[in-house]
Copies of this chain bind each other. A is one copy, B any other.
């Protein structure tokens, strides 16, 4: 089991260190190698995703990823900015299936912006297509507008696109996932406006025929953004494209009130995967030892389950996290009156102890 460890920037190093502590007490044998990514890699090697890091990632069974980004790189040209490392890894490894659970932990229900009755017990799985759509579509760039409202003016453009097999494979991932859950898939599109998402809707509808035990409904993306707020528990599995998935998965994560708890995994066709917390690099609290390592620890559990075929080990980690929550331990982001505030390292230690 080869793991490429890419801590990245900001709190990345701190939270990944805790996940490694946890992995190391599982009595499993991993081959681990660490490499720089994002801003850290730009500093070290002049590029956010150096060849050597990409090579390591490609050769691994799974990648444990921290977070990338810092305001100080905002002025760099786009190709050198930290986020390009994520996009590059997704593209070069073909990580087309992104799993983003939005779970509301019983003990943290009060932390949600939403009224407790709306989110208590919430458990949504957002499956976002991750290598297609307008993220990677060509042509794109700047040019003189050939037509439109201001022909002759400078314009910028991008291409949204999805092919039938791209939609089909992510739809299958969603239906398979739903079979192991509440057997309900909501496919989110904008078929009333976009050609791309009319094809999306058509293909998802066809694929659904192979899953008669799963209920499928279609929802426009604007309505989905509303229903997530109005009745989040309506959803079980949500499947959507790269752009809409970017927006809705973050909205859903924030609804739980504890984004510091939410893991994420992105897989390719051979179950190779990249696992990272749903939150970002939080440069404002980096180095202070206060970041919540639980999303990263839970991402390592996802990694064990989906890419390393170690479901029992994954269960052990997840139970240990439940245990520390039940003990009342909280990092600053999820702390509330009556619970015990702990730092990044103490939280990692507590999970290790619980295992």
- A334 interfacial by beta-carbon distance below 8 Å: no
Q: Is the CB–CB distance between B114 and A195 below 8 Å?
A: no
- A250 interfacial by beta-carbon distance below 8 Å: yes
Q: Is the CB–CB distance between B246 and A222 below 8 Å?
A: yes
- A75 interfacial by beta-carbon distance below 8 Å: no
Copies of the protein in its oligomer: 2
- A229 interfacial by beta-carbon distance below 8 Å: yes
Give the B-binding residues of A (Cβ under 8 A). 78, 81, 83, 87, 94, 96, 113-115, 118, 131-132, 134-138, 140-142, 145, 147-150, 153-166, 190, 192-200, 221-223, 225-226, 228-230, 243-244, 246-251, 253-255, 259
Q: Is the CB–CB distance between A159 and B157 below 8 Å?
A: yes
Which of A96, A135, A156, A253: most chain B Cβ within 10 A?
A156
Which of A81, A147, A193, A198: most chain B Cβ within 10 A?
A193
CB distance from A210 to the nearest CB of B (A): 19
CB distance from A271 to the nearest CB of B (A): 18
CA distance A254 to B135 in the complex (A): 28
CB distance from A98 to the nearest CB of B (A): 13
A155 contacts which of B114, B199, B259 (Cβ < 8 Å)?
B199
Decide: A160 near B163, CB < 8 A? Known: A149-B131, A226-B254, A247-B221: no
By a CB distance below 8 angstroms, the chain B residues around A134 are 134, 160, 193-194
